[in-house]
Amino acid sequence: MELSLVLDTNGSATLQAQVFEQVRTMILEGRLKPGKGLPPSRLLAERAQVSRNTVVLAYDRLVDEGYIESRGTAGMFVSLVLPDDLMSIGGRADGDRQNGVAKNGEADLLGFDGLPVGVMYPSHARPKYDFWLGRPDANGYPVRAWRRILVRKLAASGFSLTEYGEPAGLEELRVAIADHLGPARGMAVDHKQVIVTSGSQDGLNLICRLCNVTHRPIYIENPCYQGAAYLFKSLGHKLNPIPVDDHGLIVDNLPRDQGGIVYVTPSHQYPTGVTLSLERRMKLLKWAEETSSVIIEDDYDSDFRYDGPPLTSLAGLDRGHRVLYVGTFSKSLGAGLRLGYVVVPKCVSDAARNAKSQMNNGQPWLDQAVLAEFIETGAFDRHLRRMRLIYKSRRDHLRTCLEKTFGGADLKGESGGLHVAWRPPEGSPPAHEIQQRAYKKGVGIYALNSGGAHDFDGTASDDVLVLGYSSLKESDIEKAVKRLHQAVVGPAPDQCKKVS
């Protein structure tokens, strides 16, 4: 087959890197379809007038990263399942997509600038046992209670289905959320400060509109949540990554002299799972006041806390109207519901309402009405208590299996949320390699620069992987960890039966 590369011998990138990038781009843009054969390295080397070794090394890296696979003497073929399907970010996640579109004349005419997909979606290529992060248990959804309320609300819909509703959200729901946040997150909130959104992503967009993000420096955790990083990028930002350690964002690394907007996930850092210490929370708030900065607190999975009480949210500690709080029902109920909220300082609640009406004029009435009653009647709290028990026992079982199978388990972020960060034993392969090997065995487990996470300049350590355990039955966790062990070091001892 033909495969035309354009190599720049004076370019900053090595020839090998250029071959790798261009082939990868063709694959991601679908110009090279899965299963398609690649030209033998010798042939391609001749055509591109580079040493054969350059092509061989580029091919090796493409194999390592799962884009192509060797079928022995038959040669190289585009992988049937691309790592980017698996991670659901694809070329879209980095520059490739832009290049792809930039090459597209018609797209150019539209003046389009490529935007990355920042948030995971179900993939046809999902592995059998997928520890993808932040997936609630499908069987846990309160379908019966939901239907009961749904049918009643629908029967009494009146004008609600045909008229525009309040863009900031249904008042009952805003009140219910405000009441929930008091005990749950230590926030004293008036319902007017609550804006109902279609989830965290909609909430982040709302905040970007409110805070003039395009004109202020943005500081973001490193590694961080992809959906946020890609959104800020898409709005034309240079992001300033601030490293995260075992106590969360290293607040001292924020510039003393210049304020801006800080994006943090204090309850359960995404992806590392660590909790921002109280001392740092106070420091961060102080810094925000001194530098007239805004803090975006993304509290995506704080509904689930297993050991000890949760730390009060930054918004709950905030006295200077500095914190914009982002909450979602995507983890506590389900992402298919598309409901979340932001809590803003009183002084901008009108502005937030107006921004929401500019964006999409609010969420569907029926969904809001049902959720409002579900929360008011206490059914939501009962649901959370039930799910906490299920998720806690899944977390415990994952730990037990890892300990038994690997003779110990170095875990972080266990005390809450829906995922943990795991450091494999000394001498294991690098995280990204474990991810690839495990995937080939049908197990989804993610290095810090994937799994819905983003790593700036590859600074995230490559010896940690994240596992979301909430959607896997204990028997599956057991099988998955065995396969994982095979992927890492060979067959596992059959000894991680559940201790109960």
Q: Where in 197-226 is the site for a copy of itself (CB under 8 A)?
A: 197-199, 201-202, 205, 209-212, 215-216
Give the x-and-dash track for 227-266 against a copy of itself (CB under 8 A).
x--xx--x--------------------------------
Q: What is the DSSP string of 436-492?
A: HHHHHTTEE-EETTSTTEE-GGG-S-TT-EEEE-TTS-HHHHHHHHHHHHHHHHSPP
296 phi and psi angles, rounded to 5 deg: -100, 115
Asked if residues 67 and 34 have their Cβ atoms less than 8 Å apart, the reply is: no
Regarding 28 and contact with a copy of itself (CB under 8 A), the answer is no
Find the shortest distance in angstroms from Cβ 84 to a copy of itself: 13
Regarding 444 and contact with a copy of itself (CB under 8 A), the answer is no
Q: Please give the sequence-ordered ranges of beta strands (E in DSSP) within 215-287, or none if there are none.
A: 218-222, 224-225, 239-245, 248-249, 261-264
Find the shortest distance in angstroms from Cβ 386 to a copy of itself: 14
Q: What is the DSSP string of 140-192?
A: GS-HHHHHHHHHHHHHT-TTTTTS---TT--HHHHHHHHHHHHHHH-----GG
Regarding 365 and contact with a copy of itself (CB under 8 A), the answer is yes
Q: What gap in Å lies between CA 286 and CA 463, rounded to an integer?
A: 34
Find the binder of a copy of itself among 39, 40, 75, 140 (CB under 8 A): 140
Find the binder of a copy of itself among 166, 381, 462, 474 (CB under 8 A): 166
Find the binder of a copy of itself among 57, 125, 135, 454 (CB under 8 A): 135
Regarding 124 and contact with a copy of itself (CB under 8 A), the answer is no
Find the binder of a copy of itself among 36, 47, 192, 321 (CB under 8 A): 321
Find the binder of a copy of itself among 38, 62, 120, 176 (CB under 8 A): 120
Find the shortest distance in angstroms from Cβ 364 to a copy of itself: 4
Distances (CA, A) of 187 to 190, 315, 343, 344: 10, 7, 10, 11
Find the binder of a copy of itself among 35, 71, 164, 245 (CB under 8 A): 164
Find the binder of a copy of itself among 92, 180, 281, 404 (CB under 8 A): 92
Find the shortest distance in angstroms from Cβ 188 to a copy of itself: 17
Q: What is the DSSP string of 94-117?
A: SHHHHHHHHT-HHHHHTT------
Find the binder of a copy of itself among 267, 275, 415, 471 (CB under 8 A): 471
